[in-house]
A and B are shown apart, each in its own frame.
Chain A
Amino acid sequence: MQTSNNTNNSYLSSQTPPSGGWGAGSLISSVVPLPIENVDTDQIIPARFLKATDKKGFGDNLFADWRFNKDGSPKTEFVLNDPNYTGEILVAGKNFGSGSSREHAAWAIAGYGFKVVVSSFFADIFRNNALNNGVLPVVVSPEFLAEIFESVNKDSKTTLKVDLKSQTIINNATGKSESIEINSYKKDCLLNGFDDIDYLLSKKELIEEWEKKASTAH
């Protein structure tokens, strides 16, 4: 399992899952801890970076204002700049991804190389956007979340196992696990690399029928 960041994000345009990601159904990785609550999408990707017309390069500006000084040099105290913490799993405080609907936040997280975000609570729109980009949002209990932060604090090489097939997350430092809630439709999409548009396009006849019915209803 690779742990380097800035991995190839070509899957974003090819509609296939990240290599070595959900095709395999599970991953084991060290984590990047961000014990801040209410991390909003303006922090994940500030608005001034939203002027692109494609999905590339957002990972370079993930958490830009927390990560870089004004002159572009890295802020050494920020966790993404600390070589002790690497991995494909971001662990954040409650209510992650609140605020703006910008999918650029999900592109930035995926583009940087994260495949999983763990928190005790996610904002609705971010959650959908993450799932639509092969990033799995995993909701854990506040206690389980606090324990991950504690484990990582003790040993920065602590790993988590996220198994999408069996829908479990395991803190390998404590051996404790919790189940991952995801509906079977989205699970199949992630495992097989399908997306919602594929599904909707297969329902064109139903849509036209619905339109006919609606036009006579009122």
Chain B
Amino acid sequence: MRKEKDKDNDMTTNTKQISPSGFNESSAERGRGASTLFDKIWDAHVVSTIEDGPTQLYIDRHFCHEVTSPQAFNGLRERGLKVFRPEKTTMTADHNTPTKDQHLPVKDPVSRRQLEAFAKNAEEFNMPLFYPLGHEKNGVVHIIGPENGFTQPGMTIVCGDSHTSTHGAFGTIAFGIGTSEVEMVLATQCILQSRPKTMRITFNGRIKPGVTSKDLALYMISKLTTGGATGYFVEYAGEAIRNLTMEERMTVCNLSIEMGARGGLIAPDETTFNYMKGREFMPKGEDWERSLAYWKTLKSDEDAVFDKELVFNADDIQPRITYGTNPGMGMGINESIPTLDQIDEAGRISFKKSLDYMGFKPGERLLGKKIDYVFLGSCTNGRIEDFRLFTNYIKGKKKADNIIAWLVPGSWKVRKQIEEEGLDKILEEAGFEIREPGCSACLAMNDDKIPAGKYAVSTTNRNFEGRQGQGARTILAGPLVAAAAAVNGKITMPTP
């Protein structure tokens, strides 16, 4: 959205580009023996390659939810096919589900029918890993995968959901697919994909206290723009990434798609293995040791060549917010919205349309802007650490009267942990309530919709027009900026 010239200036100060090469070229074909982590995992999953066509890729884990799967199961029925490897698909209801009274029948009849179809498909096709509403393992698909140990380094992982990139935090090739591809995976445990190019994004330094991995990701997306990584699979590296917890890494990988990347991954390390050990679907005993030895080999070779390399300094990053209607339209919380002359000519219609929708003016500062709603949750920021950060900021303060706040844990397990740690008591004393898990207001398929014209500071992933409800105005931010907005009723710098 910003002028190419400005973007180039940004890039030259802290990035370098290595000559990009074409599509469908493995590192070996580039004449080098060294491989990237992406190359290693991809090459290990190639079943066949079609000449002048895509690659047939084997899929280790398929996640499935109620919205993008019914037509795929219908397709199987029409063709008279069974699910090829039912134990490799994990099913959870999340997009369409209410966040109150989940023990009662779902009120919206259309949602209810979709959830019933999901259950019927699970039963008819003998799917062993089915977690419906209220199940102890139910929750947002990209939360429950890692939480229960389904997500393991070196895997190929797909789901009919663009935020599947979340699982890349464990050193996996994980990406979102369409429903036709869901049908392919159900029928054959394979899909056909063109090999993406590789990009490495290195963050040197460390993020400052009071800055979250969400801020780091929003910073990166605004540098690259919403299509800046399209066609690439990204590896995140550098000191700042190494120092993130697994949950923080998941937030970064989750948002890869918001700059168009096919996915994003991080090489596994001790942080990864410590997080994984003992989770239910992880290998146990000798199997764990054998797997661990393999997982430790999963990193890019030192002299591996990426099609593109970018380097940023994590020390520069401030708490961030978005001002527009795509995640690339972001800025430091105390910065100003760009003025029209900072926008290239082809993008001005879209820029103006975006600001009109948001009710903002070019050049405006948003610090102190009154807010109506705060949403904490989603596959981006619905994990226990997000609730801890939010609660820690809230402790001893009160929710502002003008704010309606929806705090939605990513899963029943996250909610249980919130209760075990007593976070719910602190939040209740401050005037908040914890709801039941689901995607909720992130995409407003259930009853949690932000009304038209209202401003929401949201820890989610998309500020698209109408994303959180028709006419809703979304400001994306991390859990600390959300907490500061919730207690002050306006956009506020979250000083510790």
A residues lining the B interface (CB < 8 Å): 13, 35-38, 40, 42-43, 46-48, 50-55, 65, 70, 93-95, 98-104, 106, 121-125, 128-129, 132-133, 142, 146, 183-186, 195-197, 199-201, 203-204, 206-207, 210-211, 214, 217-218
Contacts and interface: CB of A to CB of B under 8 A. Distances in A.
Given A37-B346, A37-B350, A53-B117, A204 B465 contact: no
B71 A43 contact: no
B313 interface: no
Contacts, number: 196
22 contacts: A37-B349, A37-B350, A38-B226, A38-B227, A42-B443, A48-B444, A52-B114, A54-B71, A65-B466, A65-B470, A95-B230, A98-B227, A101-B177, A102-B68, A103-B68, A104-B179, A195-B180, A200-B187, A201-B187, A203-B48, A207-B84, A218-B291
Contacts of B178: 101-103, 106, 125, 128-129, 132
A42 B461 CA distance: 13
Interface in B344-400: 346-347, 349-350, 353
Nearest to B24: A183
Closest 3 CB pairs of A and B: A185-B53, A103-B178, A101-B176
A79 B264 CA distance: 37
Given A53-B71, A184-B52, A210-B58, A42 B230 contact: no
B184 interface: yes
Contacts of B291: 218
Interface string B171-209: 000001111110110011111101010000000000000
A121 B188 contact: no
Interface in B312-361: 326, 328, 346-347, 349-350, 353
B106 to A, nearest CB: 11
B421 to A, nearest CB: 32
Contact of B188 (A70, A129, A207): A207
Contacts of A99: 162, 257, 462, 464
Nearest to B154: A218
B7 interface: no
A98 B226 contact: yes
A93 to B, nearest CB: 7
B56 A203 contact: yes
Contacts of B216: none
